[in-house]
Amino acid sequence: MENLLFENMDLSKEVKMALADIGFEEATPIQSMAIPELLLGKDVIGQAQTGTGKTCAFGIPAIEKIDTKVDGIQVLVLCPTRELAIQSSEEIKNVAKYKKGIKILPIYGGQQIERQIRGLRANPQIIIGTPGRVMDHMRRNTLKFGTLKMLILDEADEMLNMGFREDIDTILQSIHEEKQTILFSATMPREILDLAKKYQKNSTIVKAAHKELTVPSIDQYYLEIRENQKTDVLSRIIDANNISLSMVFCNTKRKVDEVSMNLQSMGYSVEALHGDMKQAQRDKVMSSFRKGNVDILVATDVAARGIDVDDVEAVFNYDVPSDEEYYVHRIGRTGRAGRSGKSYTFAYGRDLYKLKDIQRYTKTKIKLIKPPSLADVEETKINNIFDGIKTSLQSEDLTKYIKYIEKFIEDYSNDGSEDNEGFPTSIDIAAAFLKATLERNASKSDEPDEFVGTGAEHGMVRLFINMGKKDRLLPKNILEGICRATDLPGNLVGTIDIYDKFSFIEIPKEYAKEVLQAVQNIRINGRRVNIEPANKKS
């Protein structure tokens, strides 16, 4: 079964809006199979590993089935631990963002029960709790299930392993039978099947089966780093390995925008690719990437389908994918046409367990490496300079430049300065040239008239604007604001791309300086904006 796009599912407008805000495009395999069945009201047994989107698989149908006109608990989710209860609560709240009147309450041990009782008095429709604390409230008569429509056992096998079988029986036997009962579990031991037989009616089994996956022969690495370190480490790997063409994969559209903007601000030639972009925009981005006009493509899995570019040197899993097949598809973008390729995956905490699953099901080894140091990056830059020097020594006539060096030595030795002691050696001069070259390369992007590498078409400059869709910005607002402040004719303006929090506009290179000078204090929609060359280093 092919994974479904959320926009093609039979979901309310409010839920689709919330999923778009989160950045989800495509349902995971377990979501694609479970959600349609649950929306039909069927009892379901769902088997899938941790991290495959099980919470949304039951959370989305739960939100859709809530009737805000009915007082009382309509959905009960049982979880094995307080941590999972809190996490599931947050995920479902995000899905319910635009559904007015829906209240969700997690209840678990370790939190004051009086506080939970106050929360229950507000009549939440969805309770997410651990078995022990749910039973506490049932004994106190503060939890009543007369209006319950849906009961979900999340991580059912884990609850049984933790000795909650008696508690589960107590809870389920005290609730009326006219309800939808759902079990989600990573494994299917006999006890799970016994539970299903006892408490479900004509249940449907959905299973996110693992296929036999063939992984291409690519050097695969992972780095154990936290979220706030990822962009810096990504840039170091690119610089230390001199990677000229790469793809960066993120799990959500929001993360794609965030990562591409951060990389652009660091001076890289970057484009984003995800489902919120119109087809014409996506075609343009891919054309630039294939031609080598863009060095880094940041994309979601859905948007990157069908991309076939032979020269991609490395793939970065900025987020660990939720599905093993996604991992294989991602890293398969490099190492094409007989070339060598590398993949780097960033993981930390729970993501390390997902990575172990990926290694197990793909039968491949992903090697742990340390991030490159700043010294590694500098060494690469120096080696690049030396490579250029070797080429010059082997293939060019340097007579003209030798004369300049000889004159420099003579002038240096005769200038009478106390600091000049004798003749400088060739090594001294070479070292001074190397230092000056490194410093000049480091400061190139600070030159005010430098518009190289903005990712625009030939003869154009791409400008970054710190406003986007969330500021209710329209293309005409940008066009009117810039043309009103300058002599730039509107018909010469190129592509205008508007994202959630920022935008881009392409203008002819000869107008770039004038535009940047004229828009220092420009206001668009009543707000002062910042406009600068895309990819310019901060």
Contact 80, 164 (CB under 8 A): yes
Q: Which domains does the chain have, with CATH numbers?
A: 6-207 (3.40.50.300), 219-375 (3.40.50.300), 397-439 (no CATH), 460-533 (3.30.70.330)
pLDDT digits (tens, 9 = 90+) for 228-237: 889 989 999 9
Q: Assess whether pLDDT exceeds 60 at residue 91.
A: yes
- Concatenating the DSSP letter of every residue in 230-259 gives HHHHHHHHHHHTT--SEEEE-SSHHHHHHH
Between 307 and 301, residue with greater pLDDT: 301
Least confident among 1-15, 101-115, 383-397, 420-434: 420-434
Between 410 and 174, residue with greater pLDDT: 174
Sign of CA dihedral 318, 321, 325, 326: negative
Between 410 and 458, residue with greater pLDDT: 410
Specify the DSSP class assigned to residue 229. G
Q: Assess whether pLDDT exceeds 90 at residue 124.
A: yes
State residue 458's pLDDT score: 64
How many residues are there in the chain?
Answer: 538
- pLDDT-derived band of residue 143, with 50, 70 and 90 as boundaries? very high
Q: Assess whether pLDDT exceeds 50 at residue 449.
A: no
Tokens of 439: 């410093």
Least confident among 113-127, 295-309, 460-474: 295-309
The single residue listed with the structure tokens 């989800």 is: 24
Tokens of 456: 């625009």
State residue 414's pLDDT score: 67
Sign of CA dihedral 76, 171, 54, 150: negative
- pLDDT cut 90: percent of the chain above it: 33
Query: What's the pTM value of the predicted model, to 2 decimals?
Result: 0.53
Across all residues in the chain, what is the average pLDDT? Answer: 83
Q: In 3D, which of 344, 45, 378 has the Cα closest to residue 223?
A: 344
Tokens of 223: 């780095």
Contact 481, 524 (CB under 8 A): yes
Distance in angstroms (rounded) separating the CA atoms of residues 239 and 206: 45
Please enumerate, as own/partner, the contacts of 305-308 that have beta carbons within 8 Å and a separation of 24 or more. Answer: 305/329, 307/247, 307/333, 308/336
Least confident among 31-40, 209-218, 232-241, 496-505: 209-218
Report the 10 Å Cβ neighbour count for 360.
11
- pLDDT-derived band of residue 74, with 50, 70 and 90 as boundaries? very high
State residue 89's pLDDT score: 92
Distance in angstroms (rounded) separating the CA atoms of residues 161 and 512: 65
pLDDT digits (tens, 9 = 90+) for 480-506: 888 888 878 777 888 888 888 888 888
State residue 346's pLDDT score: 96
Between 66 and 459, residue with greater pLDDT: 66
Q: Assess whether pLDDT exceeds 50 at residue 357.
A: yes
Distance in angstroms (rounded) separating the CA atoms of residues 500 and 472: 9
Q: In 3D, which of 286, 285, 298, 363 has the Cα closest to residue 324?
A: 363
pLDDT digits (tens, 9 = 90+) for 372-431: 887 877 787 777 777 777 777 777 777 777 777 777 777 766 665 555 555 667 777 777
Between 452 and 75, residue with greater pLDDT: 75
Q: Assess whether pLDDT exceeds 60 at residue 446.
A: no
Contact 44, 34 (CB under 8 A): yes
Contact 127, 107 (CB under 8 A): yes
